[in-house]
Amino acid sequence: MSDFFWRSYVPVAVRRQRASRTLAKLAKGRSLSPVSIEGRAIARSFWGRSWCSNLERYSDFANRLPRGRTYVRNGSVVDLQIAASRVSALVSGSRLYTVTITIAPVTTARWKAICRDCAGSIDSLVELLQGRLSKGVMDRVCREGDGLFPAPGEIKLSCSCPDWAGMCKHVAAALYGVGARLDEQPALLFELRGVDQNELIARAGEGVALGKEAAAPPMVLDEGDVAALFGLEMTEAAPSDAVSPVRPRPRKRPQGVKARAAGRSPSHPKGNRGSGNRRGGGAGKRKDRRCGKRPSPIVVDA
């Protein structure tokens, strides 16, 4: 079989080298926006993956999509420009091919229906563009036929290559490149379809019953945040509930200990000062007994 029908296989490394040389030549005279894919996944964000999934669910595009995925992964899409209702691309193959894709804008009736069905479900533009949407909103936006993504009948394809197919591998690579580009700039999808994404959140409060939303917790700044906010160096303050130290009360001594310390008998306030006191003498005798001495006899003169 001649090479007119089957071209010889070109290794991936050779394709990448060709694309790099083509990109280097074109970059000298114009501003280019190539599509760069890292790894096997073409798109990772919600909008990028949704765009690629929409392409793959239409049987009209099924024949050439695998070759298109190979081309876009190899860096063959050396330039991709997205504008309102139009995608322009330069794809490197055996030579440089020009791809033009025209997409019809979303009709006013369909766009109003999407906004009406999503009212009250999208809180902010950041939430919308990052794809942090509820499952109901995602299903409505991506719904086949009347969603935001185009159907095959709304797309017109053109390529400068000699392939007679309606979608050649160069066109397929450019369409996958749109999905990769939406990872970086999701707002381009709304520009491509000719609608304003702000309209989806313009009536965000409609359809939400009052009093059903949980009250947001109060925001409290700690001491470090307050210091950083005003540019101050805050010192540690003494606690407001601190109290002055209380001296412990002196411990009461037993009454007998006080009396002995004062030289008095605990039972007699006056003590035993006189030698004639009975208790005083008895105390003396007891002292003598403790010392081991016998008391001297008392002699009475006749």
Block means of pLDDT (10 residues each) for the chain, length 302 residues?
51 66 69 87 94 88 88 91 95 89 95 91 89 90 92 93 86 96 94 93 53 37 39 43 54 57 52 48 50 54 46
Q: Which residues does residue 92 pair with via DSSP β-bridges, in sequence order?
A: 96
pLDDT value for 120: 84
Q: Would you tell me how many other CB atoms lie within 10 Å of the CB of residue 260?
A: 13
Lookup result for tokens 């003169």: 301
Cα 275 to Cα 216: distance, rounded to the nearest angstrom: 92
- 271 by Cβ neighbours in 10 Å (0-12 / 13-18 / 19+) ranks as middle
Distance linking the first and last C-alpha atoms of the chain: 173
Q: Please, which residues bridge with residue 91 across strands? A: 77, 97
Distance of alpha carbon 203 from alpha carbon 112, whole angstroms: 12
Calpha distance 101→91 (Å, rounded): 13
The reported pLDDT for the residue numbered 123 is 84
Does the pTM surpass 0.85? The reply is no
Q: Contact at 8 Å (CB) between 19 and 92?
A: yes
- Distance from the Cα of residue 280 to its chain's centroid: 94
Can you read off the two tokens belonging to residue 241? Answer: 């509930």
39/27 Cα distance (integer angstroms): 25
Nearest one of 82, 68, 98, 70 to 33, comparing CA atoms: 82
Which of these, 105, 188, 192, 195, lies nearest to 154 by C-alpha position? 105
Question: In this structure, are residues 274 and 280 in contact, taking their beta carbons and an 8 Å threshold?
Answer: yes
- Give the pLDDT of residue 280: 47
Are residues 100 and 154 in contact, defined by beta-carbon separation less than 8 angstroms?
no
The answer to whether the Cα torsion of 37, 38, 40, 41 is positive or negative is: negative
Quick one: pLDDT at residue 63?
Answer: 81
pLDDT of the residue at 167: 87
pLDDT attached to residue 262: 54
**Which is it for the CA torsion 67, 173, 24, 43, positive or negative?**
negative
